[in-house]
Amino acid sequence: MAKSGKSQFAILGMLALLKQSSGYNLKKHIESTTHNFWKETFSSIYPVLESLEQQKLIIKIDEAPENERQRNIYTLTKKGHKILENWLIQPAENIQIRNEFLLKLFFGNLIPVDITIQHLKDYKKKLRTYLSSYQAIKKDLSILDSSEKLYGSFTLDHGIEMVLASLTWCDTTIKKLQAQQNKNL
């Protein structure tokens, strides 16, 4: 079955940046660059590549270099570039955000305060992990050329700023809950 959502554009865009790539390689690059706001799995990448090829937005490159393992290398066609650019110049649609962590917190008065505090502390740990992984990604950005690096640094900075703001909010929230806890002693 052909997929037709946003994955299409994510893959098209990444392929445009890399000029040419296999599905496997695409996944690797998505993981090392857009991981904090966009992920893809093999199960979506391969069918999407097939669908994009059928739509003539990408083509398979016939490179049969000797001694090399069999793999499918794709590159964008002119039509592919056109479709991609057309999508890029449109403003983004509203995001559907579902945050299970916040949902649980919202229902916090249904469980003991100390469990919620623990959840917040665990969340902080996770956020710190994200922070260091973003710093690792920042290093990986050097793979791409300088103009791409610029935009990559923007999205990465966004992630970093969000994590930092979250960490501050966690601390404030924990303090408020602890104050609540003391009041009830």
Q: Closest CB to a second copy among 56 and 176? A: 176
Contacts of 35 (CB under 8 A, 6+ apart): 133, 137
Helix (H, G, I), strand (E, B) or coil at 61: strand
What is the nearest approach in angstroms of DNA to the Cβ of residue 105?
Answer: 18
DSSP per residue, 149-167: HHHHHHHHHHHHHHHHHHH
Q: What is the SS3 assignment for 36?
A: coil
Q: Residue numbers of the site for DNA (CB under 7 A)?
A: 1, 3-7, 22-25, 28, 39-44, 46-47, 49-50, 67, 69-72, 96
Q: What are phi and psi of 88, to 5 degrees?
A: -65, -35
**Dihedrals phi, psi of 75, to nearest 5 degrees:** -150, 155
Tell me how far, at minimum, the Cβ of 182 lies from DNA, in Å. Answer: 37
Please, what is the minimum distance in Å from the beta carbon of residue 179 to DNA?
34
Least distance to a second copy, CB of residue 70, Å: 29
Measure the CA–CA gap between 176 and 180, rounded to whole angstroms: 6
Report in angstroms how near the CB of residue 155 gets to DNA at its nearest.
18
Nearer Cβ to a second copy, position 23 or 123?
123
Residue 75 touches which of DNA, a second copy, none (Cβ within 5-8 Å per kind): none
- The distance of Cα 13 from the centroid of its chain, to the nearest Å, equals 13
CB 48 within 8 A of CB 11: yes
Residue 67 or residue 146: which is nearer to a second copy going by CB? Answer: 146
Binding site for a second copy (CB under 8 A): 6, 9-10, 13, 16-17, 33-34, 36-39, 84-85, 87-89, 91-111, 115, 119, 122-123, 126, 147-148, 150-152, 154-155, 157-158, 161-162, 164-166, 168-169, 172-173, 176, 180
